[in-house]
């Protein structure tokens, strides 16, 4: 191409395809101001908090951001990867990105990156990098198995916002939620089967704990609740288990409003009194282990359960960058790139 371009023509990049794994985000450190910056960006998103801005702004800035960063920073410190000085979410998402890049290495001109909706690396910086590298086609892959306006939509919103500032905009695809994808169901079911088999006890119950949301969002048409229930049903059917062996709960509620029930913490505190004293728990709404799984469930959840009279508690990790988990991501990405590769 350079032979037929005028001598004064700017360089032309070889056309490439970009793949961006999108995840929620993380503070850059555990100190007050790092966590505060992250929480401010996260909790200022109108998709996440639908309370009218005139009412929410003073609550957030004058109350929540005064005390919450210290509490959250302490929680992050419990699970922080001290070797890499990063949160597990960023470490694992980077590992997933590098593993996917290796799996797609045989495809010419494919670049794989990851971006965070809140925090770093920012979605805008990653899309700018890909566009400047010559990516004329980009696949956005929100790493949320179940769709919600608070997760999938807000991740895509941030990408569209960045695209809206580009003079030469690439063609873009967005990968859909994959809660009922046969490969995902198979891999998730296998992780449960293998996780239970590796324990030195037989659980009385397996709990699938999903991140919660206000009931009001469900009533406004968010499909998340339905997709969570269907995820567990499909996995249970794949395992051939009876309904009494596995249940759905919802965690991480925030504020005074009613959230999706049953609540994970309340359930864990009540089960021993009902004779269920051995449990295994996992968090299928997360593609990578993070503060909500490693600190809230594996630490706080265990403490709640054991103090209530529980005898055995086990947390089954997310799919993360495991070979099976990466098989699923690779299959999904290749399917969504169909016609581009």
Give the separation between CA 337 and CA 322, rounded to whole angstroms: 22
In whole angstroms, what is the distance from residue 131 CA to residue 138 CA? Answer: 9
* Euclidean distance between CA atoms 219 and 149, whole angstroms: 13
Q: What are phi and psi of 271, to 5 degrees?
A: -60, -45
- Enter the tokens of residue 65: 């951001």
**211 carries a ligand binding annotation:** yes
Please state, in angstroms and as integers, the Cα–Cα distance from residue 298 to each residue in 29, 71, 87, 261, 332, following that order. 21, 17, 16, 20, 29
Q: Has 225 been labeled as part of a binding site?
A: no
Contacts of residue 203, Cβ cutoff 8 Å, sequence gap at least 6: 196, 278, 279, 280, 312, 314
| Helix ranges (DSSP H) in 148-301 | 154-163, 182-197, 215-219, 224-239, 264-270
Which segments are annotated as binding site for Fe(2+)? 211, 292
Which segments are annotated as binding site? 211, 292
């Amino acid at each position: 191409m350079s032979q037929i371009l005028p001598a004064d023509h700017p360089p032309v990049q070889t056309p490439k395809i970009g793949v961006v794994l999108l995840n929620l985000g993380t503070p850059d450190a555990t100190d007050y101001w790092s966590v505060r910056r992250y929480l401010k960006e996260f909790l200022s998103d109108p998709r996440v908090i639908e309370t009218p801005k005139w009412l929410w702004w003073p609550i957030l800035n004058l109350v929540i951001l005064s005390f919450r960063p210290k509490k959250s920073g302490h929680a992050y410190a419990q699970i922080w990867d001290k070797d890499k000085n990063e949160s597990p979410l960023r470490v694992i998402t980077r590992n997933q990105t590098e593993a996917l890049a290796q799996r797609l290495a045989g495809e010419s001109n494919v670049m794989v990156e990851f971006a965070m909706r809140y925090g770093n690396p920012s979605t805008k910086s990653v899309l700018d990098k890909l566009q400047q590298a010559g990516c004329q086609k980009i696949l956005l892959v929100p790493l949320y198995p179940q769709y919600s306006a608070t997760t999938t939509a807000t991740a895509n919103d941030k990408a569209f916002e960045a695209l809206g500032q580009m003079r030469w905009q690439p063609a873009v695809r967005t990968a859909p939620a994959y809660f009922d994808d046969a490969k995902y169901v198979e891999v998730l079911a296998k992780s449960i089967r293998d996780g239970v088999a590796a324990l030195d006890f037989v659980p009385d119950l397996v709990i699938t704990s999903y991140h919660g949301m206000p009931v009001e969002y469900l009533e406004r048409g968010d499909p998340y609740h339905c997709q969570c229930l269907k995820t567990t049903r499909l996995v249970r059917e794949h395992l051939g288990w009876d309904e009494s062996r596995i249940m759905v709960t919802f965690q991480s509620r925030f504020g005074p409003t009613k959230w999706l029930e049953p609540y994970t913490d309340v359930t864990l505190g009540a089960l021993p009194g009902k004779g269920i004293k051995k449990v295994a728990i996992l968090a299928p709404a997360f593609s990578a282990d993070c503060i909500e799984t490693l600190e809230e469930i594996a630490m706080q959840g265990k403490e709640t359960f054991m103090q209530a009279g529980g005898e055995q508690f086990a947390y089954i990790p997310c799919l993360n960058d495991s070979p099976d988990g990466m098989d699923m991501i690779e299959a999904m990405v290749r399917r969504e790139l169909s016609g581009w590769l």
